[in-house]
Amino acid sequence: MDTILIFLSSGLFLGWSLGANDAANVFGTAVSTKMLKFKWAAIICSIFVILGAVIGGAGASETLGKLGSVNAIAGSFTVALAAGLTVFLMTRVKLPVSTSQAIVGAIIGWNFFSGFKTDISTLTKIVYTWVLCPILAAIFGFVLYKALIIYIRRSKIHMIRIDQYTRIGLIFVGAFGSYSLGANNIANVMGVFVPVSPFKSINIAGFTLSNTSILFFLGALAISLGVFTYSKKVMTTVGSDIFRISPLDAFIVVLSSSLVLFIFASEGLQALLISFGLPSFPLVPVSSSQAVVGAILGIAIGKGGKNINFGIMGKIGMGWVLTPFLSGVITFIMLFFMQNVFMQKVVL
């Protein structure tokens, strides 16, 4: 069991860093603008991240499995560690980075090392989802912003009332955002461990918790730990950093980005769309930060499109290419060392 925990540690570390950084996308503005106390933001975020991961985490994780099924736990450890290292390195040099892109690059690195073929159709699906994610968030941001403004103008709500409703709204969309974050991004944290999950299904009061759910639960706990131990610092800087937006804008940003994350994670929604004969969205882990940037751009366009820094889109594009590439290379090198220096079985 100890060995298992050691091997899981890289995934748990990835979860911790996701909680530390990405929780700020959900509750950052609410906390930094003093609309909500950090304590409450952290509690709500943790509960809903765990719910999202355990209830809705399977879909996006399955897609990662199709891309490359890492079949030895030491391999999974190395893949998650390499992804975590890539996120760390990219952050250090202040380049935009997403855990989703790092883990995909790391899996492809493992495919190269192990000689397994990368499923090109899955990879294409994933890459097109990455491009679609900020665009869809921008469309949601734009439409929701316009709709809300028309509503506020027509209803002539008092400024203090708007403040109250925004406060309540931020709690609800924050909870929804945390759920979506858990459902969509747990695949990044624990996805590579699914094929080699060391746990057995357990029965608790009539409910069966599958081995994957236990894995996701542990990953979600790591995300929660990241939220409680480190996200306060990130949240308090969010308000004064690039997201200098009002609480009302924040409400739309969180709602739009959460909707995008939800769309790319919900098996239920996918089944519903298919049952109506509509085109469905692939279940792929996407970057919550890029969804947030997309939503902000949507609002900025809704406000007349002045002072938009389109350079940020270029940076996101660079992240799409650079992060998986770097992550793939690091994984390849680390797998080599793991296999030949530490004598661990990274491929079955």
Partner 1 sequence: MKFLGQAKNLISEIDIFWDNISRSALVFRTGMNNYLDGKTKRFQSDLKDIRKLESDTDVMRREIKYKLYSHMLIPESRGDVLGLLETTDNVVDSIKKVLLQFDIERPEIPDSMKDEFKELTQLSVNTVDEMVLASRAFFREISIVNDHINKVHYYEHEADKIEEDLKRKSFTSKAIKTLSWKVQLRYFVERLARVSDEAEAVCDRLSVYVIKRSF
Residue ranges binding partner 1 (CB under 8 A): 33-35, 149, 152-153, 156-161, 163-164, 167, 246-248, 303
* CA atoms 126, 181, 295, 268: torsion sign: positive
Q: CA 114, CA 70: separation in Å to the nearest integer?
A: 9
How far apart are alpha carbons 327 and 109 in whole angstroms?
Answer: 7
What's the sign of the alpha-carbon dihedral 65, 67, 69, 70?
negative
Give me the residue label for tokens 């950084």: 21
Q: From the CB of 152, what's the least distance to partner 1, in Å?
A: 7
CA atoms within 13 A on the CB side of 206: 0
Q: Least distance from C-beta 154 to partner 1, angstroms?
A: 10
CB of 134 to partner 1, least distance (A): 23
Which helix (H) or strand (E) segment holds residue 207: the answer is strand 207-209
Q: Which is nearer to partner 1, 157 or 329 (CB)?
A: 157
Smallest distance from partner 1 to CB 167, Å = 8
The span from the CA of 55 to the CA of 322, in Å, is 32
Nearer to partner 1, 140 or 262 (CB): 140
292 with 243: CB under 8 angstroms?
yes
**Toward partner 1, which CB reaches closer, 33 or 71?**
33
Q: Residues near 50 by Cβ (< 8 Å), separated by ≥ 6?
A: 182, 217, 220, 221, 223, 224
Nearer to partner 1, 165 or 230 (CB): 165
Q: Which string of DSSP letters, residue by residue, matches 236-274?
A: HHHTTTT----HHHHHHHHHHHHHHHHHTT-HHHHHHHH
Cβ count near 172 (within 10 Å): 13
CB of 312 to partner 1, least distance (A): 23
Cβ neighbours for 308, distance < 8 A, ≥ 6 positions apart? 297, 300, 301
Minimum distance of partner 1 from residue 25's CB (angstroms):
19
CB 26 to partner 1: min, Å: 19
- Provide the token pair at 266: 């919900």
**Least distance in angstroms from the C-beta of 33 to partner 1:** 5
Contact 235, 45 (CB under 8 A): no
Nearer to partner 1, 164 or 229 (CB): 164
Q: How far is the CB of 160 from partner 1 (least distance, A)?
A: 5
The CA-atom distances, in angstroms, between 308 and each of 23, 63, 186, 242 are 25, 34, 32, 12
Q: Which is nearer to partner 1, 159 or 341 (CB)?
A: 159
If the CB atoms of residues 91 and 246 are measured against partner 1, the closer one turns out to be 246
Q: Locate 27 and state its tokens.
A: 């509750």
How far, in Å, CA of 36 to CA of 88, rounded?
A: 29
Nearer to partner 1, 117 or 153 (CB): 153
